């Protein structure tokens, strides 16, 4: 019990010191975003028209709905084989989405180099 009190006392004494030192450090969280030119709204969407932004958001929404629908089906499925098939289907959807995002990222990187 004595050790617990000592440990708690040390933590309580060190907490204000760590808070002061972290408050004194300049915040650098936004710097990488500015370097990459992502200081506008959604970042990569800065050069899009409103129609393009809306279409992009709709596409994202559709993907999210499909993922959530599959998650709900997986959670409610009792048959192990069907559950595994749904998991595989969701995994494939995740892989295709990831590949699409990486391809888009590569295109953006190549555009910046030019």
> Which DSSP string corresponds to 62-98?
HHHHHHHHHHHHHHH---HHHHHHHHHHHHHHHHHHH
Q: What is the pTM of this model?
A: 0.54
Distance, in Å, from the CA atom of 92 to the CA atom of 94, rounded to the nearest integer, reads 5
- If the chain, 114 residues long, is cut into consecutive pieces of 10 residues, what is the mean pLDDT of each piece? 64 60 53 46 70 93 94 95 96 94 91 84
Output the pLDDT for position 85: 96
Output the pLDDT for position 20: 61
Distance, in Å, from the CA atom of 71 to the CA atom of 64, rounded to the nearest integer, reads 10
């Amino acid at each position: 019990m004595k050790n617990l009190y000592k440990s708690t006392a040390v933590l309580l004494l060190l907490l204000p010191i760590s808070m002061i030192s972290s408050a004194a450090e300049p915040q650098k969280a936004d710097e990488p975003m500015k370097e990459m030119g992502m200081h506008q709204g959604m970042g990569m969407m800065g050069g899009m028209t409103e129609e393009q932004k809306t279409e992009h958001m709709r596409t994202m929404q559709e993907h999210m709905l499909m993922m959530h629908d599959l998650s709900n089906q997986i959670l409610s499925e009792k048959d192990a084989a069907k559950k595994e098939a749904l998991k595989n289907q969701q995994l494939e959807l995740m892989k295709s989405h990831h590949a699409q995002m990486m391809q888009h990222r590569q295109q953006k990187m190549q555009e910046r180099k030019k």
